[in-house]
Amino acid sequence: MLPPGQKPYDLALQIGLDALVESPPSKATLEALGARRKDNVIFVPALNMVLLVDLLRRDVFVKGSGKAKRKWAVLCVHYLGSKDVSVDSREMTFNRFLDAQSYGVVYQKRIIGRFLATSGRTAEQFIKLSEKIGGERLPEPGVRYRFFILPRVPVILVRYEGDEEIGPGANVIYQADIEHLLPAEDRVVSAELLLDALSGVDMTELS
């Protein structure tokens, strides 16, 4: 059971930070993850912002702003805690990850359904919002953009137009090495945070 008043993301964050403090990532690991450390702070690019993991203050901040939202903070800390940073650049859809099979129905609702009902309702809207947060337009088929959620976590979001009988469709494509960089739930969360960003949700925690 959780201690009284304890929130799951707060607990996960503190556990992750404790692990980083006890066993900090090496310089080589940080370089492999596209991060860098200065004194007690680790700098991690995230979309068009930078997250600051402060090992002394035991928290994660958005550079030039305040505390990072807890989901962003936990995702970043888990990423820095990766033990295997080898590269596998193959492209994979979520349902191809063996440890994510039980998330299938949930993923369709939390990610695909939400995208088509919000920022991906039309191709024009998807293009406009993607450009706004620094997405990289990729060649067809479909309207597709690549976003770097974290330096080694590129996510490709694709919208297909459909026709008179079949409505628009969508897909999310990951790089295969995310399977050992982040657990399955964090892979879902990374796509959720991308949809948040497309919808204009701030990365900073509300005070």
How do residues 128-182 score in pLDDT, each as one tens digit? 999 999 999 999 888 999 999 999 999 999 999 877 778 899 999 999 999 999 9
Q: Would you say 134 and 147 are in contact if contact means Cβ atoms under 8 Å apart?
A: yes
The closest alpha carbon to 77, from 189, 174, 192, 197, belongs to 189
CA dist 205 and 199 (Å) reads: 16
User: In the structure, what pLDDT confidence band is assigned to residue 107 with cuts at 50, 70 and 90?
Assistant: confident
Q: Would you say 54 and 61 are in contact if contact means Cβ atoms under 8 Å apart?
A: yes
Count CB atoms within 10 A of the CB of residue 4: 5
Greatest mean pLDDT among 74-78, 94-98, 100-104 lies in 74-78
Question: For all residues of the chain together, what is the average pLDDT?
Answer: 91
Give the predicted TM-score (pTM) of the model: 0.90
CA dist 195 and 189 (Å) reads: 10
CA dist 194 and 205 (Å) reads: 16
Which whole-number Å values give the CA distances from 84 to 25, 28, 78, 179, in the listed order? 11, 12, 12, 10
